[in-house]
Amino acid sequence: MAIFLAIKLDGKKLSQKIAGQLQQRVTKLKARGVSPKLAVILIGDDPASQIYVRNKRRMAKKIGIETSDLRLPVATSEEKLLQIIAELNNDVTVHGILVQLPLPPQINEETIIQAIDPLKDVDGFHPFNMGKLFMGAPYAIPCTPNGIMQLLAEYRIPLAGKKVVIVGRSNIVGRPLAALMINHNATVTVAHSYTKNLFELTRRADILVAAVGKAELFSQTAIKSGAVVIDVGINRNAAGKLVGDIDQIKVADIASYLTPVPGGVGPMTIAMLMKQTVDFAERSVK
Ligand SMILES: Nc1nc(=O)c2c([nH]1)NC[C@@H]1CN(c3ccc(C(=O)N[C@@H](CCC(=O)O)C(=O)O)cc3)C=[N+]21
Ligand SMILES: [Mg+2]
């Protein structure tokens, strides 16, 4: 069996390169009197959402994108949230709207996602955008899957004809990533909690994407020698350390490429959110 020392798929580095490109586009937009603006709504105190909000504010500032962060109490009603979304939809100075998920139980996620103007839907979660994506003609692309695709492209990792196994079928990651991979001619399998003999399946993958939210679930026995491994998980282990769904140390010895946690998929998600906002702002003046 060949021994690999996985090459790091450096999301932090690529996200900084993308930020530099976006900065130039924002400068041009501002010269034309358009200041790209992203509105973020955060309800409650989901830990992953807190990290996301903090890091995206930082990157937006660096690029020159305006942000308005609205923090609402966990008891906020659906009616109130719908009213805020309607105001943002009608505000011509706002180019992108993002409502942090998950939402508290009194608010229906589907109702909220459908209320966002699809042309301002930076997450790409609206049925219009999901439908376009699944038909192979995307308008807005969900940020985490888009970030994964950009990272694979940067490292020239071919997708056509490759066996891709995605573990996790969320609307945020698994489902839209499957659509993108199909659009790039990969052969895609989506596994989930009902999948039988999970590791037998993942061991056949040329490219494995782990998006289940279970700390270090996948180790050497789950992975083919030389596989490309993408770790989407953000979990806390028993010691309170941020860890992915992949046992990074063990898998680094057999994978050909591996995304670290942190510094892999997370920063790419944010870079794609920024890119989507700038794309929307440019489309608003074209
Ligand atoms: N509508 C919606 N869209 C989302 O895309 C969405 C969401 N809601 N809710 C929460 C999850 C989670 N998420 C993260 C993105 C980046 C990092 C991130 O920056 N990660 C850094 C963490 C580094 C640090 O510890 O600061 C890294 O992996 O390197 C984390 C989490 C987006 N999500
Ligand atoms: Mg995301």
pLDDT at 46: 83
The tokens for 225 are: 């020698």
Domains defined for the chain, CATH in brackets: 33-117 (3.40.50.10860), 143-265 (3.40.50.720)
CB 122 within 8 A of CB 276: yes
Region 243-269: mean pLDDT is 97
Tokens read off for 243 = 């860890």
pLDDT, one tens digit per residue, over 86-99 is 999 999 999 999 99
Residues 215, 237: contact at Cβ < 8 Å?
yes
Which pLDDT value is given to residue 47? 81
pLDDT over 60 (residue 78): yes
Ligand 1 close to Cβ of residue 234 (< 6 A) = yes
Report pLDDT digits (tens) over 57-76. 999 999 999 999 999 999 99
Please choose, from the candidates 4, 77, 90, the residue with its C-alpha nearest in 3D space to the C-alpha of residue 39: 90
For atom 20 of ligand 1, the residue with the nearest CA is 266
Angstrom distance (rounded) from CA 121 to CA 124? 5
Per DSSP, 7 falls in state E
Active site residues: 56, 100, 123
DSSP state of 220: G
ipTM for the whole predicted complex goes beyond 0.90: yes
Identify the pLDDT of residue 107.
98
Residue 15's Cβ-side half-sphere holds a number of Cα atoms within 13 Å equal to 28
pLDDT in tens, 2-27: 677 999 999 999 999 999 999 999 99
Euclidean distance between CA atoms 140 and 148, whole angstroms: 15
CA 175 to centroid of ligand 2, rounded, Å:
12
Residue 170 in marked binding region:
yes
Would you state the pLDDT for residue 2?
61
Report pLDDT digits (tens) over 119-153: 999 999 999 999 999 999 999 999 999 999 999 99
Percent of the chain with pLDDT over 70: 99
> Atom 12 (ligand 1): residue with closest C-alpha?
48
- Compute, in angstroms, the gap from residue 31 CA to the centroid of ligand 2: 30
Q: By the 8 A CB rule, do 97 and 56 touch?
A: no
Q: Is the CB of residue 14 less than 8 Å from the CB of residue 150?
A: yes
